[in-house]
Amino acid sequence: MADTKVYRASTTAPVNIAVVKYWGKRDTKLNLPTNSSLSVTLSQSDLRTLTTASCSALFPASEGDSLLLNGAPSDVSGARTQACFRELRARRASLEAADPSLPKLSTLPLRLVSENNFPTAAGLASSAAGFAAFVRAIADLYELPASPSELSLIARQGSGSACRSLFGGYVAWRMGAQENGGDSTADQVAEASHWPEMRALILVASAAKKGVSSTSGMQQTVATSGLFKERIATVVPANMAAMEKAIAERDFEVFGEVTMRDSNSFHATCADTYPPIFYMNDVSRAAIRAVEAINAAAGRTVAAYTFDAGPNAVVYYLEKDTEAVVGSFYHVLGGVDGWKTAAIGGLKPLLALDEGVAGLLQAGVSRVIMTGVGEGPIKTDEYLVAEDGSPA
């Protein structure tokens, strides 16, 4: 009898925000980076992608592979997505070749359905969580015996930063040296439980799609910036070493300083790109001034800012410094959405922020997200594809 079963697997995957940035590819086809990078995985209670991968002989072959993302069909024909499908299928096919009793899932069309638990209006790049969930869900569907590091090699080809979202806690993506990218994978530097007090306050300065995508922006930097050569040769290797030591020793002073310096270095290479690329705006710079003022008032580094390819500020801090950090931002931004009021009720600001800085933040920050370090992908029995194969 023909096998008409709908095979399904579901997983959630987290967002990660780098503290040593990936910026630049040495091979655009294999998506190999010019430098190693390091990130903190954020809690999935606040930010996560849920993806169900399914396949069945019932799905018409003419449909091919498909992806429904936040309720809308999404194009899967791009080279990056195709590379992920191809790599995962090849691994399943070799399992099937070794054990003929296995169902031939590698020959069936894949239906993927994916949803984010955060609004697109949060203005956060979701490609990291998206590709990590995509790869993890298909790997689970195919019952691949692959480790997260092996899967990171596949997710990397979807989107570089996605390779770091296959782990929780503190994660490094090692640039590797091999031409085929076989050693360009992610590994866990420390579990979330090693330093669970790490928190992140995200100031959403714009939900608009970024002007210059990271994919194209980074290659413009590689091609034209002199400063970038220095960044990858000396700045990043030193930052990676310092950051790994800071995490091992739970040293927030060093963690914070390296985070801010690396963000500054990355955005300096953007400004040094010709023509220049500007991701930060006046609101971002006001957030930097605010963090500097908070640290000065505290007399130590209690908060650390970092910016990706857009104006949103991510401010890392430790739980014990919630009052100093969150209290000070809440004082000026209390009117916007996203505060976990139970956690911050009654907090006193450490200082009153400068009026100019406060005004810019009030005019430009549309919402905040309060989160912290969290776990890697989690298998779940919540399915976005019903047993009959239709979107649930």
Cα distance between residue 255 and residue 177, in whole Å: 27
Cα distance between residue 33 and residue 183, in whole Å: 11
Cα distance between residue 369 and residue 121, in whole Å: 12
Binding ligand DP6 (rule: CB under 6 A), the pick from 6, 8, 21, 372 is 21
**Minimum CB–partner distance for residue 127 and ligand DP6 (Å):** 5
Cα distance between residue 70 and residue 117, in whole Å: 10
Query: Which H helix or E strand runs over 328?
Result: helix 322-333
Nearest partner of 283 among 209, 355, 363, judged by Cα: 363
Contact call for residue 22 and ligand DP6 (CB under 6 A)? yes
Pick the closer one to ligand DP6 by CB: 280 or 384. Answer: 280
Contact call for residue 159 and ligand DP6 (CB under 6 A)? yes
Contact call for residue 231 and ligand DP6 (CB under 6 A)? no
Pick the closer one to ligand DP6 by CB: 22 or 195. Answer: 22
Residue that is written with structure tokens 């910016």 in the block:
307
3-state secondary structure of 20: strand
Binding mask 48-87 for ligand DP6 (x = CB under 6 A): ----------------------------------------
**Minimum CB–partner distance for residue 134 and ligand DP6 (Å):** 13
Please give the residues from 291 up to 330 whose contact with ligand DP6 meets the rule CB under 6 A.
308-309
**Minimum CB–partner distance for residue 276 and ligand DP6 (Å):** 16
Binding ligand DP6 (rule: CB under 6 A), the pick from 214, 259, 273, 312 is 214
Cα distance between residue 142 and residue 95, in whole Å: 9
Taking each helix axis from N to C end, the angle separating 252-271 and 236-248, rounded to the nearest 10 degrees, works out to 160
Contact call for residue 10 and ligand DP6 (CB under 6 A)? no
Contact call for residue 134 and ligand DP6 (CB under 6 A)? no
Binding ligand DP6 (rule: CB under 6 A), the pick from 10, 12, 31, 54 is 31
Binding ligand DP6 (rule: CB under 6 A), the pick from 82, 117, 149, 215 is 215
Contact call for residue 37 and ligand DP6 (CB under 6 A)? yes
Find the part of the chain contacting ligand DP6 (CB under 6 A) among 16-24, 47-55, 230-238, 369-377: 16-24
**Minimum CB–partner distance for residue 327 and ligand DP6 (Å):** 28
Nearest partner of 17 among 190, 251, 259, judged by Cα: 259
Pick the closer one to ligand DP6 by CB: 111 or 174. Answer: 174
Find the part of the chain contacting ligand DP6 (CB under 6 A) among 146-154, 158-166, 296-304, 380-388: 158-166
Pick the closer one to ligand DP6 by CB: 264 or 380. Answer: 264
Pick the closer one to ligand DP6 by CB: 23 or 228. Answer: 23
Between CA 262 and CA 273, with CA 268 as vertex, the angle to 5 degrees is: 130
Find the part of the chain contacting ligand DP6 (CB under 6 A) among 21-29, 99-107, 283-291, 355-363: 21-29
Binding ligand DP6 (rule: CB under 6 A), the pick from 43, 106, 127, 265 is 127
Residue whose beta carbon is closest to ligand DP6: 160
Cα distance between residue 154 and residue 163, in whole Å: 8
Contact call for residue 160 and ligand DP6 (CB under 6 A)? yes
Cα distance between residue 281 and residue 204, in whole Å: 12
Contact call for residue 185 and ligand DP6 (CB under 6 A)? no
Cα distance between residue 288 and residue 307, in whole Å: 10
Find the part of the chain contacting ligand DP6 (CB under 6 A) among 18-26, 50-58, 114-122, 248-256: 18-26
Torsion of CA 125, 131, 136, 138, to 10 degrees: 140
Residue-by-residue DSSP string for 245-300: HHHHTT-HHHHHHHHHHHHHHHHHHHHTSSS------HHHHHHHHHHHHHHHHHTS
Extended beta strands in the chain, E state: 7-14, 16-20, 25-27, 32-33, 37-41, 48-55, 66-69, 72-74, 110-116, 170-173, 186-190, 198-204, 303-306, 313-318, 367-372, 378-380
Name the phi and psi angles at 333, rounded to 5. Answer: -115, 15
Binding ligand DP6 (rule: CB under 6 A), the pick from 161, 185, 225, 239 is 161
- If binding means CB under 6 A, how many residues of this protein chain bind ligand DP6? 15
The residues binding ligand DP6 (CB under 6 A) are 18, 21-23, 31, 37, 125, 127, 159-161, 214-215, 308-309
